[in-house]
Amino acid sequence: MKLPPRLVGAVGSVAVGSLLGTVRWDSEENAELRALREAGEPLIYVLWHGRLLPLTYYNRGRAIHTLISRNVDGEYIARVVERWGYHAIRGSSSRGASAGTRGLLRALRGGNSVAVTPDGPRGPREVMKAGVIFLARASGAPLVPAAAAPTAAWTFGSWDRFVVPKPFSRVRIRYGTPRRIPREVNESGVTEAASELGRELNALTAAVDREVGWDG
């Protein structure tokens, strides 16, 4: 039996919020990111799908726009994150891709920040897809890698090894240095930029894992 999305959103946001409300958050921002936020500049947060939950909860209330699949599970997720202050753009790399990309671009051009999981929705795990580079090139918005690691968590057996922090754990959050993609970058430059961003995000994720002793 499929439950009404509105009910799932209400119950899910409270249940997950009650769990993550016990977590101790340890976040570190670099000077470049602070300056961009203070200036109100739209940003493209880039994070791996498996670390989505702690980063989404921690950044609630920032009115960030995020791409969510059009399927039934996506509808449930959209209802939860909307209660945390996010704006859901429906689409994915496999369904509604063009509409989703246009929605993200409109959000950025309207002065809003967006969050993208470039290895979603189906993987390969922690492998950067080039779509986020095209988005940054078209919008001029800076890319901001984001990583989170818990001291203790449940890990799902899904393709992304989805992480759910355990009650009263500590979650370490770190952001990479913002970077822009010039409009004149060609196709080969986009591919190289995607590879570089993937390496940077993997290094950032590995660093926070080491800092908290998380072995996944």
- Number of domains the chain is built from: 1
Instruction: Decide: 51 and 148 in contact? Cβ < 8 Å.
Output: yes
Lowest mean pLDDT among 38-47, 118-127, 182-191, 197-206: 118-127
Instruction: Decide: 145 and 204 in contact? Cβ < 8 Å.
Output: yes
Cα 32 to Cα 43, 118, 148, 179, 196: the distances in Å are 12, 23, 19, 10, 19
The band of 77, judged by pLDDT with boundaries at 50, 70 and 90, is: confident
Identify the residue whose tokens are 């790399």.
93
pLDDT digits (tens, 9 = 90+) for 8-65: 667 778 899 999 999 999 999 999 999 999 999 999 999 999 999 999 999 999 999 9
How far is C-alpha 25 from the chain's CA centre? 17
Q: Which helix (H) or strand (E) holds 46?
A: strand 44-46
pLDDT digits (tens, 9 = 90+) for 186-200: 999 999 999 999 999
Q: Take residue 201 and report the two structure tokens written for it.
A: 């995000």
94 CB neighbour count, 10 Å cutoff: 12
Q: Take residue 175 and report the two structure tokens written for it.
A: 């952001």
How far is residue 109's CA from residue 52's CA, in Å, rounded to a whole number? Answer: 24
Instruction: Decide: 16 and 57 in contact? Cβ < 8 Å.
Output: yes
How far is residue 162's CA from residue 187's CA, in Å, rounded to a whole number? Answer: 32
Q: Which domain holds residue 53?
A: 5-212
How far is residue 143's CA from residue 164's CA, in Å, rounded to a whole number? Answer: 25
Residue 44: give its domain's CATH number.
3.40.1130.10
What is the model's pTM? 0.92
